[in-house]
Amino acid sequence: MLNLKNVKIDRCGTGISAPKDAHINADGLEITNTQKAIELRDPPNLMKSLGLPENTPPEYLIDAMKILEGNQDLPSNERIDSLQKSSLLQWLGTSADLVTIGTVLLSAQAQGLISSALERLLG
């Protein structure tokens, strides 16, 4: 939520840039002399933000995350190795760097980024 009260924006490229689904409450907002007053952006592509091809099937990412979840008791390097047989790595083929992908997915999982993004993606 973006709350703007008695705000004046003048002489800039974009006055306000927010995600397309943002809730904006404005009271006394004045935007002048800008190239673009308000920009509503599409959310960043989840796959792209994870370093995966944009056309990565979501079910392959879900498969990889389930594998990581199922191996939570293992050390990180063994959890990453467990991704070797995932549909995600099979789909990516030889271009996939297991350690890089595994590390990114573990980090995103630890921060809760993937589960919330998948909830939005899959409803």
The pLDDT tens digits of the residues spanning 62-93 come to 899 989 988 989 999 999 999 988 999 999 98
Look at the chain and count its residues: 123
Beta bridge partners of 19: 41
- Rounded to whole angstroms, the Cα distance separating 101 from 60 reads 13
Beta bridge partners of 25: 3
Pull the structure tokens for residue 90: 């099979």
What does the DSSP assignment read for 20-58? TT--EEEES-EEEEEEEEEEEEPPPPHHHHTTS-TT--H
**Residue 73 pLDDT:** 92
Q: Rounded to two decimals, what is the model's pTM?
A: 0.58
**Residue 26 pLDDT:** 92
Checking if the pLDDT of 121 tops 60, the result is no
User: What would the pLDDT profile of 100-111 be if each residue is shown by its tens digit?
Assistant: 888 888 888 887
**Residue 60 pLDDT:** 92
What values do phi and psi take at 54, rounded to 5? -60, -25
Average pLDDT taken over every residue of the chain: 85
